[in-house]
Amino acid sequence: MLGRNPTTTQKFAEYFNCIPCTDIHDLLALKPEFVAEAASPQSVVDCTVILGGGSHFIILSTAAFVDQDLYSRAIKRASDNNTKLYIAGGATGRFNLVIMLLQLGALLPFLTQKHPPLFLCNSF
């Protein structure tokens, strides 16, 4: 678990029984298979370090990739290091993705999902 505030990070790690890290390199030394960003602007910036360190990266704040330079660096780093960048498809992730695509002027031909929202189940 990577956190910027040592006190909060330690409390969180104790509660969830995980190893606290306050530095990205300490986290990568643990060799996690996946790293997920949890609404931290700095972790989105760190994604190139994470992808280069051999971990796959799950991004929730997809609107950060409106910065085309950051997006290009992340894709290149993932490709160069045989890692993957996963863009979250939950409610927040999907809205951020739509906003990002609209701001980039990209066409949005379709969105797909494996399961319909619960409120649509049995509604037909």
- pLDDT by residue for the chain (124 residues), tens only, comes to 888 889 999 998 999 899 999 888 999 999 999 888 876 667 778 888 999 999 998 887 777 777 888 888 988 999 999 999 887 765 555 666 666 666 666 544 455 555 555 544 454 4
Of the candidates 53, 43, 36, the one whose C-alpha atom is nearest the C-alpha of residue 90 is 36
- Give me the amino acid identity at 65: F
Report pLDDT for 26: 92
pTM given for the model: 0.68
Question: What domains does the chain contain, in order, with CATH numbers?
Answer: 31-120 (3.40.50.720)
Report pLDDT for 120: 47
